[in-house]
Amino acid sequence: MQVKSVVLLAALLFGAAPAMAADGVFRVTLLGTGTPVPSPERFGNSTLIEAGSQRLVFDFGRGVTIRLAQLHIPFGSINAHFLTHFHSDHLNGLPDLWLTGWLRPPYGQRNHAMAIYGPPGLLKLTKGLTEAFTRDIEIRKEDEKDPEAGIAFDVHEKPPGLMYEADGVKVTSFLNDHGPLVTPSYGYKIEYGGHAVVLSGDTRYSAEVVRQAKGADVLVHCVTVIPNALLQKVPAYQAIYKHLASPEAAGQVFAEARPKLAVYSHIGLNGDARVDDLIARTRTVYDGPLQVGRDLMTITVGDTPTVGGQP
């Protein structure tokens, strides 16, 4: 394919190349607000943070590349990637983002190693992916001459604490409570320009999430709604409440942390549960600002968080 044709195809698929977030801009975009359940409305869990010169992606649920493409963000422009834990719905989009981000335009070719941060076990995961896709990698290096550096992983396995710092952006991880079997499991706090965003990760009620989110500008928290009739009928659903916050539990976190804006993502609406049920149950314990997330919703962080994005 000639260079002009490649550029034209890139323009058609991605639109004009996007500018980085301007200095001082701090923005959260919910790329995917869903659960393991396949859904065209709610893709797998993933969150984009743009802060000054930095683009950061947290978790890699199903469809993450599609949402980034809808935003006209080349995959190779992400500065760093962060994993909360090893449940498949948080990483089944990782091979796609890694491999497709390596290809030539219009995908926004990554010509450097993919920087990825997370809990112990991350190195094993990335080695396994590299082995699984060895033949694909060999073919593309020979056939398409994609740069070898772009398919490498730059892995940072770290215990809870400071994970990443660049151009005024600071990312700290902390342990949440995703149940006794799901360890380690991280939440993340992102600080920039005197403001803070906290991503709870997958968790039930966690005092550590409350501590990290005290006075934060935005707290993005997981939630699952299970009607009582379903709980009684299907015992397996009882296990979900041992791993994820009910509306009342999440609302209690919001009430204690008092962020400027509480946002739901990783939203499990089980059985005949609806968003109205989620809100009503949350309001029994929390009366502050609340948004139920949707895919491609944006929150611009400032003195007063501003919500926008797709309807």
| Confidence grade of residue 104 (pLDDT, cut at 50, 70, 90) | confident
pLDDT at 16 > cutoff 80 = no
CA dist 148 and 135 (Å) reads: 14
| Confidence grade of residue 32 (pLDDT, cut at 50, 70, 90) | very high
pLDDT at 85 > cutoff 50 = yes
Based on the residue annotation, tell me whether 89 is a catalytic residue of this protein: yes
CB 14, CB 32: distance < 8 Å: no
pLDDT at 14 > cutoff 50 = no
DSSP state of 48: E
Which of helix, strand or coil describes residue 3? helix
Give the residue, 231 or 79, on which the prediction is more confident: 79
**Per-residue confidence (pLDDT) for residue 239, from 0 to 100:** 85
**Per-residue confidence (pLDDT) for residue 11, from 0 to 100:** 42
Write down the mean pLDDT value for the chain: 91
Q: Is the pTM higher than 0.85?
A: yes
| Confidence grade of residue 10 (pLDDT, cut at 50, 70, 90) | very low
Give the residue, 236 or 126, on which the prediction is more confident: 126
**Per-residue confidence (pLDDT) for residue 1, from 0 to 100:** 36
**Per-residue confidence (pLDDT) for residue 235, from 0 to 100:** 82
Give the residue, 107 or 186, on which the prediction is more confident: 186
Residue range 229-248: mean pLDDT, rounded: 89
Rg (the chain; Cα; Å): 19
Segment among 120-134, 159-173, 229-243 with least mean pLDDT: 229-243
CB 271, CB 302: distance < 8 Å: no
Go through the domains of the chain in sequence order and give each one's CATH number: 20-306 (3.60.15.10)
59, 89, 202, 295: which one is catalytic? 89
pLDDT at 105 > cutoff 60 = yes
Tokens of 235: 């015992």
Residue range 219-226: mean pLDDT, rounded: 97
pLDDT at 66 > cutoff 50 = yes
pLDDT at 262 > cutoff 80 = yes
DSSP state of 234: -
Residue range 210-217: mean pLDDT, rounded: 97
Residue by residue, DSSP assigns 176-225 as --S-TTS-S-EEEEEEETTEEEEE--S-SS-HHHHHHHTT-SEEEEEEEE
Segment among 37-41, 83-87, 102-106 with least mean pLDDT: 102-106
pLDDT at 24 > cutoff 60 = yes
Q: Which residue stretches of the chain are H helix?
A: 3-14, 64-70, 94-100, 122-132, 134-143, 207-213, 228-233, 236-240, 247-257, 275-282
**Per-residue confidence (pLDDT) for residue 4, from 0 to 100:** 38
Residue by residue, DSSP assigns 160-179 as SEEEEEETTEEEEEEE--S-
| Confidence grade of residue 311 (pLDDT, cut at 50, 70, 90) | low
Omega into 105 within 30° of 0, i.e. cis? no
Q: Which of 94, 77, 88 is nearest to 155 (CA)?
A: 94
